[in-house]
Structure 1
Amino acid sequence: MISPFSVETVLALTQSGAKDETAEEIRAGLRLPNSTEKTESVYASLLPNLRGNEHYALHTANKIYVKNSYPLNEGFKNIASNVYQSGIENIDFSQKTEAADSINGWVEKQTEDKIHNLIDPKSLGEDTRVILINALYFKGKWVYPFEPLATNKQNFYKTASEVVQVDTMHNTDLYYYYESPELNAKFLQLPYEGDDVSMVIVLPNEKEGLAALEGQIENVFAAPKFSLERVSVSLPKFTIENKVQLKKILKNLGVDKAFTDEADLSGIAGKKGELVISDVVQKAFINVTETGTEAAAATAGVFRSSKLFFAEFAWFDVHIVNFSAVEFDPEFDLKTFVADHPFLFYIKIKDIALFAGRVSSPTLV
């Protein structure tokens, strides 16, 4: 599981301080707009409006921790504060435990105590200069909740031959639904209260079809040709907590110079080659139940006096509708959607991918 939004936010802020080929590689790898100015314009419009309402909770926050007496570029500080709404705080990274506790405490507060120990004290040191952090929290209720009394133990096929019993939720209602012959998979959109947020489940038709589906991941996240159908849904309750190191992903995306002494992050601080990224790490959490979903993530980019890395983001263009206005038509043919084997999911709000992941075992923690 990963939060594309959280990763991209940290890296978008980073590219605001990157120059020349270093900046170009980040923008190309992350599919950001083709200039720093355009990227900043997107975030200047987006962040003030990415908030919860009376229907769901949504909170995102950015923070920059800077080594005591380390001078950040004034222009970068202005962009961080005015565009990315980031706080800036000086800290003594040489006091590893105290510094990690302070940073992790901020993350816990921003994520409603769902993300812990994002920063390992061992990752800090005398050469740590800057840490950029994004925190994200979401909690929403289904428009069509699952009846708790209907939840029962059913088989979940981790593989065609490995079966476990899991708590499985059931409901029949009107959902946006699509069957893709090209991907050999079914799509189901589960709306949350609030009209502009939903979870999409992508279920391969074959019990061991997840690998093939992930091999066509760009097509998976293209806009499905949804139609409104009456669907009988069986979905396991699931909880996922994980930590992802993103260096390998970023290198595969072509973000290379930022990891070397050729990195030019002089827009953040120092001269070309002086500041590099040593690590980008994310922790994420999700809990899906009969009433809705609670999810959180936090991403940290750690900058040292030499090495760099980032992660992939996708803007998923999935149609979201006002489900509260949909009327039930008894003449709809009944479709079935039984998620009894590994599947993919993603959560979108205002056409932004907040979270995405796979469920290969609903009891995964």
Structure 2
Amino acid sequence: MPTTPLAVGLALVLLVSLACGVALGATGMGWGHVLRLMWAGLSGGSLAPDDAAAYTIVWEIRFPRVVLAAVVGAGLAAVGVAVQALVRNALADPFVLGISSGAAVGANAVILFGALASLGVWALSLSAFLSALVATLVVYVVARSPLGLSPLRLVLTGTALAYGFQAVTTVMVFGAERGEAARAAMMWLLGSLGGATWPKVPLAAVTVLAGWLWLRLRAGSLDALSMGDETAAALGVPPDRLRRELFVVTAAVTGTVVAVSGAIGFVGLMVPHLVRMLVGASHARVLAVAPFAGAVLLVWADVLSRMLLAPTELPVGVITAALGVPAFLLLMRRGGLALTGR
């Protein structure tokens, strides 16, 4: 399928999805009313006195939430492509390196024990991001050997340390007082965009955009790396250096999006596969489409998380898992997954 029309089509679908994500929710609003309120927020226009409550719902709660969902979905999809190239394994996703599990330790320290409370609304995101960086450093140091940074050592080290970080998180949850804090911790561990605010959007958006642009520039090198280290070296691509760079970019983007949304699974695993089925294995083509597909997927997953049991909100990670597991099994049954790489 031609890449450009598909990317443009998905971009248009994303715009419609953003509008739907703002309009749909436990509190129903007419489309015309929602669009007027969105335009008032974007243009700084005046509001009628009786629009104040609806404007708060649209502009301060729903709009930043759907925008952040799109940013996180795009970031997870792009990093999913990068991780699968990094470890040359089609079953890899952004969390295989243990970064999200490390971020969970810092996030739960804030949720359960009030760490860094003096930072206010930034405490959770900053703590999660810092602990993700520490987890990244630990994985890198442990996985590195005199022979370089091999895919197998990365996967094994990331998986082992992820279990260790999860154990620490479990001890923290059981050691904390039961109640709303424990529920909030579980929501974060399963992924939630309920805490989305406008101040959280710019940093996540800039990080995701920078990571995606870097990956696009290195698309040819990623193609070479996916064919093996010897082939990459023969084509003039130093595999060890590229793998280190990929590791840093992956850690930065994953740590940033996990810090603002929690651990949302399956987006980074499934979207790259589905996109490859449409445009082929070329990383330039996949990276042109995957972020839009990931953004659309997560926007609608968040809509479902808000509406299925309204007014109760489900963790968005539950929705992505409910969608991802059947898709994953169907791909395996049809032979659409290369389990040992492409």
TM-score strictly above 0.5: no
Higher share of residues assigned helix: 2
Look at both structures and tell me which one has the larger radius of gyration over its CA atoms.
1
Q: Which has the higher strand share?
A: 1
TM-score of the superposed pair, with normalisation by structure 2: 0.22
Q: What TM-score, normalized by structure 1, do the two folds share?
A: 0.21
Higher relative contact order (CA 8 A, sep 6+): 2
